[in-house]
Chains A and B, each alone.
Chain A
Amino acid sequence: MFCSKKKPLEVERVVKANDREYNEKFQYADNRIHTSKYNILTFLPINLFEQFQRVANAYFLSLLILQLIPEISSLSWFTTIVPLVLVITMTAVKDATDDYFRHKSDNQVNNRQSEVLIGNNLQKEKWMNVKVGDIIKLENNQFIAADLLLLSSSEPHGLCYIETAELDGETNLKVRHALSVTSVLGEDISRLAKFDGLVVCEAPNNKLDKFMGVLSWKDSKHSLNNEKIILRGCVLRNTSWCFGMVIFAGPDTKLMQNSGKTKFKRTSIDRLMNTLVLWIFGFLVCLGIILAIGNSIWENQVGDQFRTFLFWNEEEKNSLFSGFLTFWSYIIILNTVVPISLYVSVEVIRLGHSYFINWDRKMYYSERATPAEARTTTLNEELGQIEYVFSDKTGTLTQNIMTFKKCSINGRIYGEVDDDMDQKPNIIKKKKPMNFSVNPQGDKTFQFSDHCLMESIRLGDPKVHEFLRLLALCHTVMSEENSAGQLTYQVQSPDEGALVTAARNLGFIFKSRTPETITIEELGTLVTYQLLAFLDFNNIRKRMSVIVRNPEGQIKLYSKGADTILFEKLHPSNEDLLTLTSDHISEFAGEGLRTLAIAYRDLDDEYFKEWQKMLEDANAAAHEQGNRIAGLYEEIEKDLMLLGATAVEDKLQEGVIETVTSLLLANVKIWILTGDKQETAINIGYACNMLTDDMNEVFIIAGNSAEEVREELRKAKENMFGQNRSPSNGHVVFEKQQQLELEPVVEETITGDYALIINGHSLAHALESDVKNDLLELACMCKTVVCCRVTPLQKAQVVELVKKHRSAVTLAIGDGANDVSMIKSAHIGIGISGQEGLQAVLASDYSFAQFRYLQRLLLVHGRWSYFRMCKFLCYFFYKNFAFTLVHFWFGFFCGFSAQTVYDQWFITLFNIVYTSLPVLAMGIFDQDVSDQNSMDHPQLYKPGQLNLLFNKRKFFICMAHGIYTSFALFFIPYGAFYNTAGDDGQHIADYQSFAVTMATSLVIVVSVQIALDTSYWTVINHVFIWGSIATYFSILFTMHSNGMFGIFPKQFPFVGNAHHSLTQKCIWLVILLTTVASVIPVLAFRFLKVDLFPTLSDQIRQWQKAQRKARPQQSQRPQTRRSSSRRSGYAFAHQEGYGELITSGKNMRAKNLPPASGLEKTLSNSTSWIENLCKKTTDTVSSFNHTKTVKL
């Protein structure tokens, strides 16, 4: 946003490698990034300009201007300017510190080192000094400094692997490959230095998945696409080095182009507050008009006669004009009903709450040393009003870690029977996990405790061996052995990783692979299998197979896949085993495990050769290649022999179940929006208790057209109503047609739990305008909604839909870049600072490390914030009405002359000094019930959702309260002062004494009121409340002292007043009576409210008090056990096409490659393959990325 202001719009970028002079003439942005807004010189003007754009500040500025007009001014200018300057300074300081930190982080990023090719050598250079056209060298695990054109890499064919987590949140590695013409440059510095290719490409943009350009070098042109580009923000992985040429730098990089301005979020309280301020302003104008009319009449009736008497030489006046001036004067006087300090105080309170979130040790995740972080400080109270939570699955609900839990081999279950390891430590002691130390290749983190399996392996049970062999052979994992001989696996999908690691730990170690062989170590002996065919996974097949020839020459087909698919392919002889295994699978699924069926087949040599020939034919065929191959695959994968099944746990994050249960109790609706497959999503739904078998019905919407989807939705709804009630059906239908406000009524009348599961493609139709309402209505009546296979854009659309039509507060929680759009569009976005990239966190308003902290964030921090903010606002409006409206009453006694009741200094200081701290302390520290109680009774959360603590009604109550107080505050002294004298006979009914009496009563009344409002009296509250009163008196006495008058006779004319007034008994009696009269009704009202209509928190407080003497009771929430129902799913998360990658050998390390001849052979068809692969991946990725970038 900064680069574009000077330069004309760039249409096309021309970059020449290694030629800074050439590139300089285009004035491309260099690699320095600025996220900071100001520098020392521009800070003041820009910041002030920004601040006065805010309505409140502008309003007070205009008041200030009004005050400078002598005819209107009824208050000295300092009454406004002091608070205004204070407010502006505070904001400026905050902005300055924010910007300082941005400068710091900019500097830190800008000063990262990278190796740049300058002249003929590599030099260490800071990131900010990298220029477009430079060639830089990157090493493994380094962040990429700018958008680069990949030139060459350590890997064959100029391949390199990158992790794009920070860009799009995907952790699986992506392949980029250099043009073959540049990849031959290799590491040769001198050749690289001579490289002078000219790149002509698109202008900087924010599309992460598109790149168009042409490289002209050595008289030939090569077209460039996204596959040749590595973007800033990625991390280089598994590639020891690579060289790249900088195309876009700094602000032009796609990363920076994507980090657009974040939408400014406001809370609903904010909006309400703005409305109220407008109303108050209207009220103010009304008061002004009334008083102005009063003034006109008064001037006409009385003032006229006074004028000659009091104002000797004034001729101009007519009463209407005087009324007009009075209007403005009263606007100035009464402006304190909308105090400047309101906005500042709200900010301060929110900041305090944010700090509490940051400081909370109970939201600190020690394993990764991440505390919770409130990244936005302005949304806290909205956390107490959440009605809908939209959650991502992977990495949010689950840990994204797969563990091999159980298996069923040949009809026998292995693996711990009881999976409640955490809950029952004594069992662990008895049942030690298996000792894998005998196996040097074992993965230390692997935990699997069943000695029977070990025993079976040792005894050489052929089925068990076959089972493990299959696990070690049938997969797409890549292995890597480092210098120390440690094996590490590169996995595409964590499921596979879990299986291969399990086999490895059980003695069948996958060692290495070449395109034609797989080497495994079977219980200590190396065995090399010949890989004959690789029947890759895809979504329709839901299985994968390998065909290998073992050293004995037998050909075997090993297959693993979804049980539903695989069971149909079994040989009839398997029937008994099938039923047994099927039961086992159901059992596994019931525990929320992901299951796979495992089967093999022995193949005839001849049969296989025939088949292979057919496959080759099919591959070469021009037409229907895909179909023919699929048919062939189908043909060979039959008559399988069942071996068993595996169960992998997609580990839920700790505490997810408790959190979900508790949030559901708090009436928060949780929707899962995931890119995962339906089965996986449903499994997780069951695993974390959002779906249960007790549910009346789970609707699954999977239609493929708008019509179908609508039909399905309608049917589901009918179903729901039909089951629910027959008698009042018509009634409900009638209600439904009414406004959205009435919908909750409908909702509540639905008894029973329903769940809705909707697929991404159906969702696309459902989100169309006319089906939308059906979807929304149904979804909102369901207890749980699961959307699977949704794109990031759809996630955002769903959030928007609910946000727009339900006027409910939404929260989105996710960890990956695919959740960014949803996080940004929800009212509150929460980023899980997990393993995936930082994108989600950067876009979020709050971040923490574990899903379970959501419970505390909402139920404790959110609730408290909301509670405190509401209390604060109620009190604040009350206080200012009480403070200001006395002027209105006084108007009737002072000829509507805009005379203030109070001393001007009092007006200046009242809001910012005398009464600000106690209410701030309440706003920051108050607690109605303790955090433990908030967690134990999620129902306490409901008032926030229903907006009960501060709404228009409450506001009117506060207003009425304030008006009443101002009435008491004015008329009691008025009555008492009428015709009275001091105890020395001297008068006390003078204006100044009256002002002091009123001011003192006001300060005391509002202090007593805050004391009553504060339900949690900490030391700080004590200090602030007593301190405020003390401050009031000390300032009062100082300002009324002889010394001050001596120095500034004009500013402090109240000399001696405090002393005289406050030594009169009569005045203290007045103050006391005023206090009693203003507080007693409130107290009575509150007492009756608590007594007659106690809220839950009142009850809990009472109960707590009753319990205080007794032992603190631990609340026992029933442990929710997962119910068992048969669900199974093929849970491969990996992409199609990896089999091809493996069999082609493209991704093999040089040392693993077959002899040179083989290399040449593969080289010849490599290009076609790579392009194929790239096409495939970009197709899938781009459709997904495209939608996302729109949102970004």
Chain B
Amino acid sequence: MDRTSQSCRSRLPDNTALKQQRLPAYRLQLSATKVLSGFFATGAFCLGMGIVLILSAKSIKEIEINYTNICANCAELRENAINFDKECTCSIPFYLPDTMQGNVYMYYKLYGFHQNLYRYILSRSNSQLMGRDVKDVGNCDSFRKTHNGTPICPCGAIANSIFNDTIILSYNLTSSVRIKVPMLSNGITWWTDKFIKFQNPNSNNLPSAFAGTAKPPHWSKPVYELDEEDSGNSGFINEDFIVWMRTAAFPTFKKLHRRLNRIQYFTEGLPAGNYSFNITYNFPVTRFQGEKSVVLSTLTWSGGSSLFLGLAYTVTGAMTWLASFSMMAIHLMRKEKKMFFPSCQVKL
């Protein structure tokens, strides 16, 4: 009753496009020409891209040497944790048939190592690793502290399980002269990792910075001795360590270990010839039925891509074309006997 006393005008809804649902709009409609041309274009693009990718993937030179079983004696030694301080090396000769042009990267590759386990990924302390508080072992479950209560540094399962083989590549210049292929151990990490995420604690010398902490149980030396030659690569900012700490998404993964220093004989890349890997075998893989290998690879414009992407693109492109041809056929067949709206029977 009291409503009527209000002025009539105020109750009349506003005549705006929004309120009257008359907003100017584009009506999306899947018209035949649009869809079919879109399909053909997409198909063409995918096919083209697929071929390019396949070609470039083919151009990559890659050599992978699985040394799990080649160094069987070392593997056996590592089966037993008691032998952790016994050194074991093995040498794997191989022949490189073609020159590897350009930048050559050396990766280590692990099979069946689950770096993506939930509790494994969690088991690290970012605040420790950025050097704020070396004793902050927050999330590092099961590798927080040693038995006597000293905080482990770097703590956590990831750090503890670091890949600790050393791999040295030698080039047999002649049958008797072997030279060590110069490898760079820097520039293998992301900039943000090296300079933001991982920081050594502030201190004038590293050992004091890590005073009061213990090394992880699997490690043979403390974190500040990771690179005894270059203090800029030691401690948390050791690049091998950083690479390891960036956990892999899948149980089979390769991680960048070294890159070729293109000097002397190697300015063009790795020349063809005889090589050998000298491996200090520390990392046990047989215990979890895993395998490990070392990979030498060049890159292409899209990185070290595998064939998959190219194949996938090609298949997608082919399927799209197939679909568009059949759609066109169906559409044309339909069109002949198509009913147009006003005369059509209502069929729902």
Contact surface of A with B, Cβ cutoff 8 Å: 74, 108, 143, 302, 305-306, 308-314, 329, 355-356, 358-361, 364, 366, 368-371, 864, 893-895, 897-900, 925, 927, 931, 939, 942-943, 946, 948, 972, 974-995, 1011-1012, 1014-1021, 1042, 1045-1046, 1049-1050, 1053, 1055-1056, 1059-1060, 1064-1066, 1069-1070, 1073, 1076-1077, 1080-1081, 1083-1084, 1086-1088, 1090-1093, 1095-1096, 1099-1103, 1105-1106
Q: Which residue of A lies closest to B192 (CB)?
A: A1056
Answer whether A369 and B11 are a contact pair too, CB < 8 Å, given A108-B2, A143-B1: yes
Chain B nearest CB, measured from A648 CB (Å)? 28
Quick check: A1084 and B39 within 8 Å, CB to CB? yes
The answer, yes or no, to whether B115 is at the interface (CB within 8 Å) is yes
Assess whether B316 is in contact with A1076, with CB atoms less than 8 Å apart.
Answer: yes
In the bound complex, do residue B126 and residue A370 qualify as a contact, i.e. CB atoms below 8 Å apart? no
B90 within 8 A of A: no
Q: Which one, A311, A1015, A1070, contacts B29 given CB within 8 A?
A: A1015
Contacts of B149 in A (CB 8 A): none
Contact with A along B1-36 (1 / 0, CB 8 A): 110101010011111000111011111111110010
Q: Is B58 among interface residues, defined by CB-CB distance under 8 A? A: no
Task: Choose among B196, B288, B312 the residue that contacts A1055 (Cβ–Cβ < 8 A).
Answer: B196
Q: List residues 272-296 of chain B with CB under 8 A from any CB of chain A.
A: 284, 287-289
Contact A990 B249 (CB under 8 A): yes
List 4 tightest A-B contacts by C-beta distance, closest first. Answer: A1056-B192, A981-B304, A1103-B341, A994-B249
- Shortest B297–chain A CB gap in Å is 7
CB distance from A137 to the nearest CB of B (A): 20
Whether A893 and B251, one on each chain, are in contact in the complex, defined by CB atoms closer than 8 angstroms, is yes
Contact of B299 among A108, A983, A1083, A1101 (CB under 8 A): A983
Please tell me if the beta carbons of A364 and B13 are within 8 angstroms of each other in the complex.
Answer: yes
Are B256 and A369 in touch, CB under 8 angstroms?
A: no
* Distance between A769 CB and nearest chain B CB, rounded to angstroms: 36
User: Max chain B CB contacts within 10 Å: which of A108, A897, A939?
Assistant: A897
- Known A981-B254, A1077-B316, A1103-B342; contact A1056-B330, beta-carbon cutoff 8 A: no
Contact B302 A1069 (CB under 8 A): yes
Q: A980-B305, A980-B306, A982-B303 are in contact. Are A899 and B121 (CB under 8 A)?
A: yes
Q: Is the CB of A981 within 8 A of B256?
A: yes
Supposing A358-B13, A360-B20, A986-B256 touch, asked if A1095 and B348 sit within 8 A by C-beta, the answer is yes
Residues of A within 8 A of B284 (CB): 309
Contact among A369, A939, A991 for B121, CB-based, below 8 A: A991
Verify B256–A985 contact, CB threshold 8 A. yes
- Given A311-B119, A356-B19, A1087-B35, also A371-B308 (CB < 8 A): no
Q: Is the CB of B189 within 8 A of A986?
A: yes
Of the residues A108, A306, A313, contact of B288 by C-beta under 8 Å: A306
Chain A residue nearest in CB terms to B35? A1087
- B196 pairs with A1045, CB closer than 8 A: yes
Task: Flag if A309 contacts B53 (CB, 8 Å).
Answer: no
Q: Which residues of A contact B287 (CB under 8 A)?
A: 305, 308-309
Complex contact A1049–B132 (CB within 8 A): yes
Collect the chain B residues with CB atoms within 8 Å of residue A1090's CB: 30
Chain B residues lying within 8 Å of A1018, measured Cβ to Cβ, are 23-25
Total CB contacts across the A-B interface at under 8 A: 313
Task: State the Cβ distance, B207 to closest chain A Cβ, in Å.
Answer: 24
Q: B246 interface residue, CB < 8 Å from A?
A: yes
Q: Is the interface of A mostly helix, strand, loop or mixed?
A: helix
Shortest distance in angstroms between A980's beta carbon and chain B's nearest beta carbon?
Answer: 5
A311 to B161, CA, bound (A): 10
Give the shortest distance, in Å, between A463 (CB) and chain B (any CB).
45
Q: Would A1042 and B309 be within 8 Å (CB), given that A370-B11, A1018-B24, A1092-B334 are in contact?
A: no
| Residue B178 lies at the interface, judged by CB distance under 8 Å to chain A | no
Report yes or no: B19 in contact with A1042, Cβ–Cβ below 8 A. no
A1077 (CB) vs chain B CBs: closest residue: B316
- Is A371 a contact of B346 with CB atoms below 8 Å? no
- Chain B: which residue is nearest A1086 at the CB level? B30
Q: Is B120 an interface residue (CB 8 A)?
A: yes
Q: Digit string of B118-150 for contact with A (CB within 8 Å is 1, else 0)?
A: 111100001100101000001101110000000
Which chain A positions have C-beta within 8 A of B142? 311-314
Cα distance A939–B103 in the bound complex, in angstroms: 69
Whether A894 lies near B114 (C-beta < 8 A) is yes
Interface bits B136-177 vs A (CB < 8 Å: 1, else 0): 001101110000000000000100110000000000000000
Q: Find the residue from B28, B49, B252, B334 having the highest chain A CB count within 10 A.
A: B28
With A108-B2, A986-B188 given, is the CB distance from A1080 to B42 under 8 Å?
A: yes
CB nearest to A943 among chain B residues: B348
CB contacts (< 8 Å) of B297 on chain A: these are 981
The answer for the CA separation of A850 and B327 in the assembled complex, in Å, is 49
Contact indicator A1055/B197 (Cβ below 8 Å): yes
Which chain A residue lies CB-closest to B300? A983
* Cβ contact within 8 Å between A1080 and B196: no
Residue of A nearest to B194 (CB): A1056
Closest B residue to A1097 using CB positions: B348
A966 CB to closest chain B CB (Å) equals: 16
- Flag if B119 contacts A993 (CB, 8 Å): no
Query: In the complex, what distance in Å separates the CA atom of A834 from the CA atom of B20?
Result: 24
Does the CB pair B30–A1083 fall under 8 Å? Answer: yes
Q: What is the distance, in angstroms, from B252's C-beta to the closest C-beta of chain A?
A: 7
- CB neighbours of B305 from chain A (8 A): 976, 980, 1066
| B241-287 interface (Cβ within 8 A of A) | 243, 246-256, 259, 284, 287
B130→A981 contact, CB < 8 A:
no
Let me know if B12 and A361 touch, CB within 8 A.
yes
- Alpha-carbon distance A1055/B126, docked complex (angstroms): 11
Assembly CA distance A979 to B60 (angstroms): 13
Residues of B near A991 (CB, < 8 A) are: 115-116, 121, 246-249
Which residue on B lies nearest to A893, using beta carbons? B250
Verify if B107 is at the interface (C-beta below 8 Å from A): yes
Q: Which chain B residues border A864 with CB–CB below 8 Å?
A: 21
Chain B residues whose C-beta falls within 8 Å of the C-beta of A1060 in the assembled complex:
190, 192
Contact A1066–B309 (Cβ < 8 Å): yes
* A312 and B143 within 8 A (CB): yes
Q: Is A948 touching B13 in the complex (CB atoms < 8 A)?
A: no
Residues from chain A with Cβ under 8 Å of B327 in the complex:
1084, 1087-1088, 1091
Closest to B286 in A: A305
Pick from B141, B243, B319, B346: contact of A1096, CB below 8 A.
B346
CB distance from A676 to the nearest CB of B (A): 27
Query: Once the chains bind, are A1076 and B42 in contact (CB under 8 Å)?
Result: yes
In whole angstroms, what is the CA distance A503 to B138 when docked?
A: 98
Q: Are B21 and A925 in contact (CB-based, < 8 A)?
A: yes
Is the beta-carbon distance between A1105 and B29 smaller than 8 angstroms? yes
Asked if A974 contacts B256 (CB within 8 A), the reply is no
Residues of chain A within 8 A of B306, CB atoms compared: 975-976, 978-980
In the bound complex, CA of A313 to CA of B19 (Å): 66
**Which residues from A are CB-within-8-Å of B107?**
981
Bound Cα distance A1049, B316 (Å) = 41
Cα distance A143–B319 in the bound complex, in angstroms: 76
Cα A991 to Cα B12 with chains together (Å): 58
Assuming the contacts A986-B256, A1091-B330, A1105-B29, asked whether A978 and B250 have C-beta atoms less than 8 A apart, the reply is yes
CB distance from A109 to the nearest CB of B (A): 9
Q: In the complex, A1015 Cα to B117 Cα: how many Å?
A: 43
Chain B residues contacting A311 (CB-CB under 8 Å) are 119, 141-142, 157
Residues on A with beta carbons closer than 8 Å to the beta carbon of B21: 356, 864, 925, 927, 931
Give the docked Cα–Cα distance between A309 and B288 (Å). Answer: 9
- Please tell me if the beta carbons of B253 and A989 are within 8 angstroms of each other in the complex: yes
Report if B344 contacts A (CB, 8 A): yes
Q: Provided the pairs A1088-B330, A1090-B30 are in contact, do residues A989 and B303 lie with their beta carbons within 8 angstroms? A: no
Chain B residues in 8 Å Cβ range of A1019: 23-24
Given known contacts A991-B249, A1049-B130, A1066-B309, what 14 new A-B pairs fall within 8 Å (CB)? A305-B288, A312-B157, A356-B21, A369-B8, A371-B13, A927-B25, A976-B312, A989-B248, A989-B250, A1050-B127, A1066-B303, A1080-B316, A1083-B30, A1084-B39
B29 touches A306 (CB 8 A): no
Which residues from A are CB-within-8-Å of B193? 1056
